[in-house]
Chain A
Amino acid sequence: MSEYAIEMLNITKEFPGIRANDNITLRLRKGEILALLGENGAGKSTLMSILFGLYQADSGKILVNGKEVHIKDPNDANKYGIGMDHQHFKLVEVFTVLENIILGCETTKFGFLQLKEAREKVVALSKKYGLYVDPDALVEDITVGMQQRTEILRMLYKNNDILIFDEPTAVLTPQEIDELMKIMKELAKDGKSILFISHKLNEIMKVADRCTILRKGKYIDTVDIKDVDPEKLSELMVGRKINLVSNKKPAEPKETVLEVKDLVVKDKIHGINAVNHASLKVRAGEIVCIAGIDGNGQHEFINAVTGLMPIESGHVILNGEDISHKSIRYKNTHGMSHIPEDRHKHGLVLDYSLEQNMVLQRYFEDEFQTVGFIKDNDVRGYANRLIEQYDVRSGQGPITISRTMSGGNQQKAIIARELDRKHNLLIAVQPTRGLDVGAIEYIHNQIIKSRDSGAGVLLVSFELEEVMNLSDRILVMHNGEIVGEFDPKKTDIQELGLYMAGAKRQNMGETKESAV
């Protein structure tokens, strides 16, 4: 028997205009956790997709337990015990969580689905690993965090023993990440072999045994985690030193740009108040962050403010004007920029080219059209400028179909578009989700720059480090209410955690009053 569960030897894969994998060799030992590290677009997802049978390598071999195999499709992969948790979830929107988990290995009796047994197994798994899901919710209605948990449960449900995690933690809360790390370690102890992709070096340090590093499609090195530190890893990855602790000037808040008064938003499924009389203010020149555990109303709060969800009651005031019931177009053109939580659902038209996506909210402006005709050259020029300025990497530049871009580069494209639009309020939900450290550094600096040039920034992030690093003021949201306000310099992660979990709350005078 071979010492390796998986060996991928000299894998090469080309896409139009780019060599995504260039002679990469990767070996996964049995029962180990191997991290895969690389910048956005380095070719990690491509390599994993080849292993999972979604793509065919142009050349190279794959060995499972020492035997060469040909993995033609995910069914083959499943046959060899390979399961994958995708970076961009592959869930059926109109199915329930339970149905999605059992999809492809349904137990039937006389041709009828045996949902009861499946449900028991799923509930047991989700209890065991603390992966909370609502089995009966439709996937289109749940948050990305819960979609992620659904994907993980699906792998566990299928009893796969080679598990690929493509950026599973990008959308999880710190607590959930800790949980997942524990689960992964336990799974490895059970003899499962795990491939783990993450841009977060501390996670890799915490769980991985070894780490393989890719750069621009090429194999760089494989290191033992006990021999390296995060600095060394990031240096191997980008080829230079990274400074993630932003050295920003203190905020100089000016006039209020966004005021939310007593906002109530109904939950789409259960009809309860997902946002319950929440109020806040964002002033020009400051970064206000809503911290909280996923599913406490942040999602609905942002969607109501931006216009993606209807408001039950309350007011949203932008630059002194009540925009509660204005159209999204109106908000877009009156100073609001929005980096959405779900880049595939809202952020991009995936079948449009990169340049078409760059003008998604601006195609009708005189800069890009005359008498209804799009000025192709101006769109191209504009897109090229953004691509260069924000270092958006893709196979064919402006005409690349957005669907084929790597996750991190899709995110960079959205960020470029939203930051470049004229705005004095920037709403950013998980803006650095899925970005490599180099890109995060850059995006953080861009957000700070936007603040310093006079915009108010409303940030939603589940990553407490990002929250602490970036914000000038922190609001904690719990159960649809704002339960505390903090100065990042005078608080710490532990204190925030207590508020986020609902163990403590401040007396938010303003909120209470208006609630009556």
Chain B
Amino acid sequence: MNTKNKNMKSIAALDSIIASLVCILGGLLVGTVVLLLLSIVYPSIPASEAIRGIQIVLAGPLSSGNVRSILFNLGDMLLETTPLMMTGLSVAIAFKTGLFNIGAPGQYLMGAMSSLLIALSFPKPNNAGSALLIWLLAFLSGAVLGALWGAIPGLLKAVFNINEVIVCIMTNWIAANIVSWVFYSTGDRFINTAEVKTQFIRKTFTNNIETAKFGLDKVFPGSNIDISIFITIIIAIIIYIILEKTTFGYELKACGYNRNASKYAGMSEKRNIVYSMAIAGALAGIGSSLWFLNGQNEFLWNTYLSLPSEGFNGIPCALLASNNPIGVIFTSIFLRWIERGGFNLSGFTDYNEYVSALIIAVIIYFSGFSKYIKDKLSKSRTEKIIKEGNE
């Protein structure tokens, strides 16, 4: 009985994976059609380019030419995956509790601000120990501020039953303005005035704060990769364990599925809403901390003009993974992979990189069907089992 049950569970997981793959395939097919259409519209592009184009997109960083640039592209892709994976997790865990965290951009910004302030405020550390200490402090502050920022919509939802989506959108713009204001009012202290780039904050390496690389920069020469990708994968696994194996996760999900029943069961559904949003915020905050503490990434401080796309991209990332934290590891890498392919597409063909954005968009549309596909799969499987049983 037990092994049979386990099988059932892993079969269900397999179905979700297949469903996601079907969505991706559908997206790629439509992408090919678009490339073909474009080649018809633009006589300068031969139809054969379409097939080559989709190959390039699919191959992602592997389509970057020689080994050197492939490695360089791979490294940078993994680095860029870090913040996306975190915002994806952020959205996913909130979804599990029945909340739509569209506030990841704001949480991301608050995390970026606090970790940059801390990383750049201390006098330049002169030994590795104190540099690590400051790094840790900056990293944690990103998580904490993100958490606080996420907790605000959570609290308002719990106490006054105000829709979290509305509050999230407001807190996004409040964050954007706070960040701009803070860096504006601190003048030259943090702003990079060196290269006439006054709209950027200094990179943290100028203050000797950089995430450890553990030799990854040798494996992927030329790229800025650091160990943050491993940190985020570990965090994703931890989130998965929390959700699936702990009493806390059990409560969060119960609350998401049926708030009335969780109240009946004696869970504090209000507290769970706040916790869930705070964790979601912390995850988004960590995403930006890791990105900027890399040392080489620049922060555009005029954030009141636009919100960071990483925050919003967490939504499709979570959707495609059916909100499964482990799934988010793969979907975030996949989305970045395709994106790299898109850059290469514009480099090596006459298409521009927006085609990859379009393919990603189509995949996301298809991910809406993933549940449908999953149901179809499980249905045909039971039919098969029944047939075999009858024979």
Contacts and interface: CB of A to CB of B under 8 A. Distances in A.
20 contacts: A16-B378, A19-B386, A58-B383, A306-B264, A328-B265, A328-B266, A329-B268, A332-B265, A332-B266, A345-B258, A348-B258, A349-B257, A349-B258, A351-B257, A352-B257, A372-B247, A372-B248, A374-B245, A397-B5, A399-B8
Interface stretch (A27-35, A118-126, A357-365, A489-497): A357-365
Given A16-B382, A351-B257, 15 more contacts: A14-B382, A328-B265, A329-B268, A333-B266, A345-B258, A345-B260, A349-B261, A349-B262, A351-B258, A352-B253, A360-B261, A363-B250, A369-B246, A372-B246, A399-B9
B266 A348 contact: no
Q: Interface majority SS on A: helix, strand, loop or mixed?
A: mixed
Interface residues of A, number: 39
A501 interface: no
A308 B261 CA distance: 10
Interface string B15-59: 000000000000000000000000000000000000000000000
Please give me the 3 A-B residue pairs with the lowest Cβ-Cβ distance, nearest first.
A329-B266, A346-B264, A328-B266
A361 B245 contact: no
Contacts of B248: 372
Contacts of B261: 345-349, 360
A347 B263 CA distance: 10
A398 interface: yes
Contact of B247 (A338, A351, A363): A363
A252 B99 CA distance: 51
Contacts of B386: 14, 19
B8 A347 contact: no
B382 A15 contact: yes
B266 A347 contact: no
A243 interface: no
Interface of A: 14-16, 19, 58, 306, 308, 327-333, 338, 340, 345-352, 356, 360-361, 363-364, 369, 372-374, 376, 380, 396-399
A364 B264 contact: no
Contacts of A345: 258, 260-261
B246 A374 contact: yes
A364 B262 CA distance: 13
Interface string B233-275: 0000000000001111011011001101111111110000000
A340 B253 CA distance: 21
B124 to A, nearest CB: 41
A346 B378 CA distance: 29
A345 B247 CA distance: 22
Nearest to B5: A399
Nearest to A399: B5
Contacts of B128: none
B246 A373 contact: yes
A16 B384 CA distance: 11
Nearest to A345: B260
Contacts of A396: 5, 8
Contact of A369 (B247, B253, B258): B247
Most buried by A among B9, B260, B263, B386: B260
Contacts of A329: 266-268
A484 B259 CA distance: 36
B196 interface: no
Contacts of B260: 345-346
B194 interface: no
B382 to A, nearest CB: 5
Given A58-B383, A372-B247, A372-B248, A308 B257 contact: no
A356 B8 CA distance: 16
Contact of B264 (A338, A373, A374): A338
Given A16-B382, A349-B257, A399-B5, A373 B245 contact: yes
B268 to A, nearest CB: 8
A373 B246 CA distance: 4
Interface string B64-98: 00000000000000000000000000000000000
Contacts of B253: 352
Contacts of B266: 327-333, 361
A374 B247 contact: yes
